[in-house]
Structure 1
Amino acid sequence: MSAPASAQGVPSGSASGGAQTSPLANCQLRINATPTAWIISGYDAYETAPPEAVFSATFVNDGSAECRFTPTFELGRPPFGLSSGMGRPIGYALINLSDSQDVTPRTGRTVRNSSEQRTLVLAANEQRTITYRLVASPDEVSGSGTFTQDVTLEAQDQAMRVLGGARIVLGLEVLPSARIGLAGAYRISDGQALVSLGELREGPAPVPLQLRVSSTGRYDLDVTSLNAGNLRLAGTEWTVPYSLTIGGSRVNLSGMDRVSGPVETGMYRAALPIQFYIGDVSRRRAGTYSDLISISVTAR
């Protein structure tokens, strides 16, 4: 995405332009919004902090007479909401922090309420900077990507005439992100999940265990076994072979193996059954056999 260093004034009814001479003689107003892309960057859908950021726009009167106006936002292309071109748009709010006013263009433009919105007055060669907070709705995030909407920040006088404007891109960048956790028969000791396979018998171990996965889209699971797919009696060379499946997919424990998630995009939640299969236990020395399995998730 590229944009000029500062937005130029947009005369009413035209596609581009510089400072706009208002119907009030010698009021020449321009708006500088820097940057011209108001993007909430680096949002992780699984963090608790809401997606928000603060931006500013400077209103400059280059004329020799005062300018009286109210800042408003207008949608460049309805419907309302941040969109990637697919799926349901993400709702958002625009708050004028300088006046503590909601200026969100939910109906296509900011609703002007004379009892709440203050008219700004700029004397000749005076300027004023207004700060805005952009807040996106986290509950409406449908996956990773960049979601945007084009708007125009306008300065309107009491007769609804446009004295100047600046085009701005509003947006939310949602990072690819994934989380995993366990559910079922396990306990935590020294930060590790301990799973008891019971008395070792050849065949499937009767252990109810699930790997819970949450992802903004596609993901990969990387699985490694400390003993390359063997349960080992501590301090000895005695081992019992075993195998593992996650969500029905067999995992090769002889080295690092990768299990890929679904090919569909969008927010994903699943509980994948983990099943252990014990190999030959005959003629093994008595004792407790164990292995250390590491599972990591990578969002794509």
Structure 2
Amino acid sequence: MRRPMFFLAAPLLAVPALAQPPASAAPARGADCIVRMNATPTSWMITGFDPYDGTVPEGTYSVTFVNDGGAECRFAPIFQIDQPPFGLSKGHGKPIGYALLNLTDSQDVTPRAGRSVRTPSQRELVLAPNESRSLLYKLVADPDDIRDSGTFTQDVTLEALDQNFRSLGGTRLVLGIDVLPSARIGLSGAYTMNDGHAVVDLGELRPGIAPVPLQLRVNSTGQYDLTVSSANSGRLRLGASDWFIPYSVAIGGNTVNLAGSGMVTGPNGTGFRRDSLPIHFFIGDVGGRRAGTYSDVVSISVTAR
């Protein structure tokens, strides 16, 4: 009878030590606060921004915070720059400053010093187990810092930090702006406006350069091309008659072929440009022409590169 008793005694002494943890042991992972973040989208890009259309470069995005753990979560969403310096960049040049705003709680969460500033007045986000909440954010780029076209970005991490700055979860985001190549043109000098068109008076027609001070003003995000065309193929016409006077145009020192669609390439260089290109009109032979007012319609368009 002693043998069966001895055999049963060993398991009875060993099982309690393996099956029952001490009272001070850590709880199971499922009882912790675990924050999962769903960002929509994960790349917060301000797309198709034209620096000359007068709009504010901004975009609105959302993040849903979910408590996947078994305990209540109390935290503050904090943005942190993955790699300084602060600003949207395409690898060279001055970065574009930006602001990151929590629209839901009316808070500025811009990581200007590397991470969002956590203030005593900032409200914590409180989530019960399996509870979720969405916050709305706005990204606003500084238009005064935009000096070139292209894609400018910055990688950041959005973290859920408790009051002891312990991370309860996080996600990676890309902030950025896509600046379109863009250009605008205008005139300055001796011209008047009539029915939305610029009217240039060449004065009394004589062979040579017409004494008209006129400049083409070009604002561009970078290099550009000018396309110039003439309704009469480089001839000033007397009304609807067959009387013509040949002439040519030079823009910025480049003579334009008005017999077809002339092309002028703007000055070289990168970054924003504000050019003032002189326009000169060269009048051809006027001998034997009937007196009267001769005219032509010249169209100039700009294409940014």
If the length of structure 1 is used for normalisation, what is the TM-score?
A: 0.91
Name which of 83, 91, 104 aligns with 1:77.
83
Q: Distance in 2 between matches of 1:297 and 1:70?
A: 49
Q: Find out whether 1:144 has 2:149 as its counterpart.
A: yes
Q: Distance in 1 between matches of 2:280 and 2:171?
A: 59
Greater fraction of residues in helix: 2
CA spacing shift, 1:22–1:50, aligned 2, 3 Å: farther
Q: Distance in 2 between matches of 1:114 and 1:169?
A: 28
Match of 1:156 in 2: 161
Q: Distance in 2 between matches of 1:56 and 1:165?
A: 15
Task: Find the residue that maps to 1:272 and give its secondary structure.
Answer: strand
Q: CA deviation at 1:22?
A: 11
Any conservation in 1 of the 2:86–2:111 contact (CA below 8 Å)? yes
Calculate percent identity across the aligned residue pairs. 64
Q: Distance in 2 between matches of 1:63 and 1:162?
A: 14
Name which of 282, 298, 302 aligns with 1:297.
302
Q: Distance in 2 between matches of 1:292 and 1:172?
A: 39
Task: Find the residue that maps to 1:197 and give its secondary structure.
Answer: coil
Q: Distance in 1 between matches of 2:35 and 2:230?
A: 68
Q: Distance in 1 between matches of 2:269 and 2:204?
A: 40
Root mean square deviation, CA, Å: 1.4
Any conservation in 2 of the 1:31–1:57 contact (CA below 8 Å)? yes
Match of 2:72 in 1: 66
Match of 1:255 in 2: 260
Q: Distance in 1 between matches of 2:30 and 2:77?
A: 17
Q: Distance in 2 between matches of 1:136 and 1:276?
A: 43
Any conservation in 2 of the 1:56–1:129 contact (CA below 8 Å)? yes
Count of aligned positions: 279
Match of 1:95 in 2: 101
Q: CA deviation at 1:264?
A: 1.3
Any conservation in 2 of the 1:41–1:173 contact (CA below 8 Å)? yes
Q: Distance in 2 between matches of 1:97 and 1:125?
A: 24
Q: Distance in 2 between matches of 1:217 and 1:53?
A: 25
Match of 2:207 in 1: 202
Q: Distance in 2 between matches of 1:173 and 1:22?
A: 46
Match of 2:230 in 1: 225
Q: Which structure 2 residue ranges, 5 or more long, are not aligned?
A: 1-26
Q: Find out whether 1:169 has 2:174 as its counterpart.
A: yes
Match of 1:131 in 2: 136
Q: Distance in 2 between matches of 1:140 and 1:159?
A: 36
Residue 247 of structure 1 aligns with an amino acid whose one-letter code is G
Match of 2:293 in 1: 288
Residue 237 of structure 2 aligns with an amino acid whose one-letter code is R
Q: Distance in 2 between matches of 1:281 and 1:137?
A: 55
Deviations 1:98-141 (A, max 9, x none): 110000000000111012x1011100100010010000000000
Q: CA deviation at 1:65?
A: 1.3
Task: Find the residue that maps to 2:90 and give its secondary structure.
Answer: coil
Deviations 1:67-106 (A, max 9, x none): 0000000001100000001100000000000110000000
Any conservation in 1 of the 2:30–2:69 contact (CA below 8 Å)? no
Residue 96 of structure 2 aligns with an amino acid whose one-letter code is I
Q: CA deviation at 1:23?
A: 9.5
Any conservation in 2 of the 1:214–1:269 contact (CA below 8 Å)? yes
Deviations 1:223-264 (A, max 9, x none): 001111110111211111111100110001110011011231
Q: Find out whether 1:37 has 2:34 as its counterpart.
A: no
If the length of structure 2 is used for normalisation, what is the TM-score?
A: 0.89
Match of 2:278 in 1: 273
Deviations 1:191-223 (A, max 9, x none): 211100000011100001010000001111000
Task: Find the residue that maps to 1:182 and give its secondary structure.
Answer: strand
Name which of 188, 192, 195 aligns with 2:197.
192
Any conservation in 1 of the 2:245–2:285 contact (CA below 8 Å)? yes
**Looking at CA atoms only, which structure, 1 or 2, has the larger radius of gyration?**
2
Q: Find out whether 1:245 has 2:250 as its counterpart.
A: yes
Q: Which structure 1 residue ranges, 5 or more long, are not aligned?
A: 1-20
Any conservation in 2 of the 1:22–1:28 contact (CA below 8 Å)? no
Task: Find the residue that maps to 2:236 and give its secondary structure.
Answer: strand
- Name the stretch that deviates more: 23-32 or 156-165: 23-32
